[in-house]
Amino acid sequence: MLGGLVPANVGAAPPQQVLTDTLLLKNPKGAHISEAYRYYTEPFATKPDPEQVEAQWRAGKFRPGPWHETLNLGILHKRVWMRLAVRNTESQRLRFLWSIFNFTDSAALYCRRRGETKFTQLAIASSWVPAAERAFPARALSFPFTLEANESAVLYLRIDLHAGALYLPTYIETAEHFLNWEMNFPFERHWVWMLGFYLSSALFNLVLFAFLRDRIHVWYLAYVVCVTLFLMMEDGLDAMLLPTGLYQLAWSIGQFNFVILAAAAGIRILQLFVRLGSGWPRLHRAGTWLAGTSAVFVLLYAVAFPWAVRHSLTMVQALNFTRELILICQFGYGWVTLLAVMLTRRRRLAAYYALTYFFFSAGFAIFWFNHIGLTSFNPVYPNALAWGLFFELLVLSALLTGRFRHTLRQNARLRIRQLRQRNSQSARLIAAQDEERERLARELHDALGPNLAALHLAWQGRAVQEAINSSPEAAAAGHHTELLLRHLRDEVRTFSHAILPAEPGLGGLCDSVAALAELLNLYGNPTVHTYCDKGLEQLPQPLQLAAYRIAAELLNNAVRHANATEVQVQLLLHPEALEILVDDNGNGFNKTQTRAGIGLRGVQARTEYLRGQMHIDSSATGTCIVVRLPLKE
């Protein structure tokens, strides 16, 4: 038996690697498949024919694999043939699987047993089909064949891969051991918890975006999704987990194109994290242009590549080499940007981000060197890139959490500053309104009031009275005019007292409300009753003034609009609030159908400014309005 399904170990094969002619299957101490196969490449335009390839074998055109345990030919745009002579060393008939663990456009297995003169095609398959729909359902592209006891055969595995990067781990194992390996693979290679970590990291940033609306978290989500898809495609997990349509769409975009998209999202994360736009506009524009060009290239690649495979292999090569060039430019831009920022006052931000960038760059460098055929080095399972992404997301999540906390503190300071500005503006507005009210009240009281009184006295003079009493009609008109003058004088006095508290020396809040009620009671209808708790005079003067304004406005509304016979005004002092209650037995109003007047809107605005609450209870039997003003505020 081969030494288990283990991916490429550290380093390349020794220069003097011992090769064998025949792979002894089921021999635990035998040679590895990479020590027994030989490979040959031919143009894609050549019609695949194992007999013609066998002629090339006889002509000595085949070569041994350049790397141990993996066929790694790098960026090569040719068809690959792998020739392997095998023998079943067991005393019973066994079923084996020759598997390719990377994506291939098309592959086929040919077999020539002892005594046969020609090769027979055993199976043909394509990685474009997801695992459940393959001839042998597995994440790997597996080709079954059987060997009788001690039977020998020559196998050819044909591989067509147009995307370049011929990094092809291949293994032969019995079907039983292969299925057992497939079942345990996600657990033994840490994929279960790694995918869980990637997913939780993405969801965590989605939550952060919901709170902050910071675009960096959206780019982070795109970054994690693209890299995770790339890693799943590398180990064939996508063939098992994704539905057919999504699986084929992912491969239509291309595995390494997801790295390009991830790197483009990474550029946007970098720009936002180090605030590149505010200090380096040219570098910021270059990164934005590179990220946009990368996205456009991926779109063009997905559209043009299928056509190029059928009609222009030169275009296929051009697309693949452009892809590698863009990858180099993206990672180069990241390091150039970080080094440039490190030379400024924002070096701490750049240093923090450079730590995350280092983890992913190191993992990707190992992966990319394998990808282009320079090495065949995989120090950890499942691969260096997966672990690089793990550590990068771990550090980056911590950094973004710190950014989240910093943003919350900034937002809190901004809200406090805005609230203070609004309070200051409101205080100035109310002060201006109060000043204007006082000026108007004093004008009414000091100017218009005396003039009306003088007019009333003049009207009661002898000459005017004699003229009025000259006829019954004139006397009636004079009496009516005198009543109007008296009513107008009282109205001016009432209005001036409603907008201005009691005159200096008369008292505090309670005395002002009582004086206003006494003035209104001169008319006799409605009757106003007042009640004030003790201790109101100890309240801050601005609060007393605001409470008087509210009580006066509510009382004025009740007297003028409620058609009530009695109105109750109460000022109640609670440990935490001052309660103003105005209750009348009038006809009430419908709050949902009646638009609040200027008076009620003014009361509501003043109450909200003081962080208070207003409650209105109105029915056909009367209206009760309660205003609570907090004392601590």
One-character DSSP codes across 170-239: EEEEEHHHHHHHHHHHHHHTTHHHHHHHHHHHHHHHHHHHHHH--HHHHHHHHHHHHHHHHHHHHTTHHH
Among the listed residues 264, 526, 254, the one whose alpha carbon sits nearest the alpha carbon of residue 371: 254
Q: What's the average model confidence in pLDDT over 318-341?
A: 92
Long-range contacts of range 516-523, CB-CB < 8 Å, 24 or more positions apart? 516/552, 516/555, 517/555, 517/569, 519/493, 519/494, 520/494, 520/555, 520/559, 522/490, 523/490
CATH class assigned to 509-633: alpha beta
Residue with tokens 């524009």: 285
What tens digit of pLDDT does each residue of 458-490 get? 666 666 666 666 677 666 666 666 666 666 666
Residue with tokens 């002619």: 21
Q: Is the pLDDT of residue 312 over 80?
A: yes
Among the listed residues 603, 615, 610, the one whose alpha carbon sits nearest the alpha carbon of residue 630: 610
CB 627 within 8 A of CB 549: no
- Could you tell me which residues come within 8 angstroms of residue 4 by beta carbon, excluding any fewer than 6 positions away? 181
Which of 122-136, 313-327, 436-450, 537-551 is predicted with the least confidence, judged by mean pLDDT?
436-450
What is the CATH topology of the domain spanning 189-419?
Rhopdopsin 7-helix transmembrane proteins (1.20.1070)
Mode of pairing for the β-strands spanning 566-573 and 527-532: parallel
Q: Secondary structure of 74-128 in the HEC alphabet? A: ECCCCEEEEEEEEEECCCCCEEEEEEECCCCCEEEEEEEECCCCCCEEEEEECCC
Residue 238: pLDDT band (50, 70, 90) is very high
**Which residues of the chain does CATH 3.30.565.10 include?**
509-633
Q: Is the pLDDT of residue 12 over 90?
A: no
In 526-601 the beta strands, taken as DSSP E runs, fall at 527-532, 566-573, 577-584
Residue 110: pLDDT band (50, 70, 90) is very high
Q: Is the pLDDT of residue 15 over 50?
A: no
Higher pLDDT, 435 or 135: 135
Strand partners, 302: none
Q: What's the average model confidence in pLDDT over 376-397?
A: 82
What percent of the chain has a predicted confidence (pLDDT) above 70?
A: 81
Higher pLDDT, 195 or 427: 195
CB 130 within 8 A of CB 50: no
**Which residues of the chain does CATH 1.20.1070 include?**
189-419
Residue with tokens 């709050």: 591
| Whole-number Å distance between alpha carbons of 385 and 363 | 4
User: Does the 22-187 domain belong in CATH 2.60.40.2380?
Assistant: yes
Q: Is the pTM above the cut of 0.75?
A: no
SS3 content of the chain, % helix, strand, coil (to 5): 55, 15, 25
